[in-house]
Structure 1
Amino acid sequence: MALSELWAVEMLLAAFAGGAFGAAIGALPSFTLAGLLVVVGELYKLVVRTTGADAVPVDITGTIGFGVVLGPHVAFGGGAAALAYATKQGYLDGDFEYHPAKDVARGLGSKPDVLAVGGVFGVVGYWIATVSSSVSVPVDPVALGVVGSAVAHRLAFGYSLVGAAPSEWFDMRPDERGRDTEDSGGAVTDGGTPAVEPWLPYQYRWSDVAMLGAVVGVLGGYVAYLTASPFLAFGISVVALVFVNAGVANVPVTHHMSLPASTAALALVDAPAAQLTPAVVAGSVPLGLALLVGAAFGVLGSLLGEVVQRIFYAHAETHFDPPAASIVLTSLVVALLALLGVVESPVWVPLP
């Protein structure tokens, strides 16, 4: 995107509507829809490219899945900000175990002021991603928009940025001790909320997270190798979040593992992203190498997500997305490796 689009009225209106829509249906449901559109868009792109066409007529992934309609920087970020606002206003009810501003699976309905906040932060996310992309900051602009929007809503509505002293950031023991009791899902504060709120109570022990990252990384590398798509495995991971929305127990969140795995596997190919096809990938990179690199980046993404959740989520009062922050960091690693000549291409990550 060009900086000239930063103040384009049409794009601002669309971003506002995207953020308001994310608030209405909920941050996590909107992200699940984005994943579905990414899967559709990548399969469509694969079919078009394998027929020999020079260009894809409509970039469904970029314009809708990652655009102002359902892009996480717009819809998810707007939904999370509206949730933080609605909590401050005392609009929320229910029996959510954590601070209510973390309940990103819930929709917020049609209250005009809540939708307006979602819309404003949809614009904020759009601005961050547009500026980042336009000046070629070497990270995922969409993920950076999600992170920047979360920081902005915490500051705007008076929430703590991290919620704890540095000495407490990595201490999950209050939760671990509490889960051994019958009367609590974790040690609680005087306000009735857990003293520590792991982003996913079933997915935060280092060994568990690393193992999951390795498994998902292998699959991400494999899907990328077969399809030449850096985003298809990511989309599959996001679509799986429909089960999280439905309340199915212990479903892991893995898109911050599958995306860097697929990207790093394709970064081994000496070809521009627009020219990647399954035949080009298969002719350039051994499958075993793609799987090993995918596993390594899957583990890296999983561990960085865990670091972020312990610092910015577990002790705070609103949602700060660990996968988005992890993707910012892993995309930076891919870009740096490309600049150093360790890999052939940054694939979709901007380079300065």
Structure 2
Amino acid sequence: MTSSLLLPIGGISFLHLCIAFVGGLFGAAVGALPAFILCGLFVFIGSVLMIAGAGPDFLNTFGFGFTFGPQACFGAAVVAHMYAHKKGLSPGRDITAGLMGTKSMDVLLVGGLFGALSVILNWIFITVLPWKWGGMLWTDAVALSITIMGIIGRLMFDSKSGLFGKVAEGESRFNPTEKSVLWLPWQMSWKELLVIGFGVGLLSSYFALLLGAEHGGAVIGFGISGLSLVFLQFGTKMPVTHHISAIAAGAALASHSLIWGTIFGIISSFAGQFWACLFTVHADTYIDPPAAAIFSVTTIMVGLAALGLFTAIPLP
């Protein structure tokens, strides 16, 4: 096996499309959230192996690879949930349920097709549009791929909701009440977003600076956050934090600052709720708010870093 098969970058081949197809099919079969939890487990294991000096092969092959990377097994499965909802086989917002239970193999095939699409999208954002600002890629290609696939799926399979859903009479898009189907009712007020953004952002920034990118510091917080969602899968009112931990670690490494990392973790916490209100709360199907937060805040952070923010305002 050559190194080109280990990393989700560079050239793509028919084999890459096939193994990503399997990833999307698998994600649809077990359900989008269980597939993402498995991804979080792989990222955590890969990070621990990097701490032990084993290198990034496990992380790149399993955590962010073509089959079990979140763009394939999770992002594609989200679209399969939309398709199943269109057929009346599954609630559109319930990404915890394995779609194998629908006994409709075309649902799984839709997941597979979007898994293959995830490779193409990821390749476009990294290889065809390889813009770098200050030495950093302009966005998070995985998160942007997941968001784009969600938008495509919404337009294809949820004509009732439309792209942004429909705000109920008397409701506010960005200040919804219990009348709407909220994303995370226990993680939506400014106090809740501030506190969880601060806590997770600080811890993930600390890990990033302590370990360094070469020893898994950039992603171990993401892995822990993703793995923790196993409790959400079984009904615990868990915070969803992988968008916070991912952004905080990236900002901490870019700025060499614990405080800047924490600040961007808080920003991403609020960004997650913003995208939830824009895409998901008022719709019948799910577009992933954390993925939208990761790609958008990454782009802002990279742009500000390129403009010299972290140099102009150095923080400890």
What TM-score bracket applies, with the shorter chain setting the length? 0.7 to 0.9
Partner of 2:314: none
- Cα distance change, pair 48–39 in 1 and its aligned pair in 2 (3 A): same
- CA-CA distance at 1:2 after TM superposition: 5.6
Root-mean-square deviation (CA), in Å?
Answer: 1.9
- C-alpha distance after superposition, 1:81-119 (max 9, x if no partner): 111111111223xxxxxxx11100110116321110000
Match of 2:45, as an amino acid? V
The structure 1 residue matched to 2:39, chosen from 34, 37, 42, is 34
TM-score by length of 2: 0.86
- CA-CA distance at 1:123 after TM superposition: 1.5
- CA-CA distance at 1:3 after TM superposition: 6.0
Where do 5+ consecutive residues of structure 2 fail to align?
1-7, 132-137, 312-316
Q: Is 2:287 the partner of 1:328?
A: no
In 2: Cα distance, 1:123 partner to 1:324 partner: 18
In 2: Cα distance, 1:46 partner to 1:157 partner: 43
Match of 2:308, as an amino acid? G
Partner of 2:5: none
Match of 1:265, as an amino acid? A
In 1: Cα distance, 2:40 partner to 2:111 partner: 20
Partner of 1:104: 95
- C-alpha distance after superposition, 1:124-181 (max 9, x if no partner): 22211111011225110000011001001011114311113698421313x1xxxxxx
Partner of 2:61: 63
Any runs of at least 4 consecutive aligned residues in structure 1 with deviations exceeding 6 A, and if so which?
A: none
The structure 2 residue matched to 1:198, chosen from 173, 182, 194, is 182
Partner of 1:208: 192
Partner of 1:136: 130
Q: Is the CA contact 1:306–1:322 (under 8 Å) kept in the aligned structure 2?
A: yes
Match of 1:141, as an amino acid? A
SS in 1 for 2:19: helix
SS in 2 for 1:309: helix
- CA-CA distance at 1:342 after TM superposition: 3.1
> Percent identity, aligned pairs only?
37
Greater gyration radius? 1
- CA-CA distance at 1:22 after TM superposition: 0.3
SS in 1 for 2:52: helix
Q: Is the CA contact 2:183–2:280 (under 8 Å) kept in the aligned structure 1?
A: yes
Q: Is the CA contact 1:305–1:326 (under 8 Å) kept in the aligned structure 2?
A: yes
Match of 1:245, as an amino acid? Q
In 2: Cα distance, 1:213 partner to 1:146 partner: 22
Match of 2:175, as an amino acid? D
The structure 2 residue matched to 1:256, chosen from 229, 243, 258, is 243
Where do 5+ consecutive residues of structure 1 fail to align?
50-55, 93-99, 176-186, 188-195, 270-288, 345-352
TM-score by length of 1: 0.77
The structure 2 residue matched to 1:220, chosen from 204, 214, 220, is 204
Partner of 1:120: 113
Partner of 2:4: none
Q: Is 2:43 the partner of 1:43?
A: no
Partner of 2:222: 234
Partner of 2:283: 316
Q: Is 2:280 the partner of 1:293?
A: no
In 1: Cα distance, 2:310 partner to 2:46 partner: 26
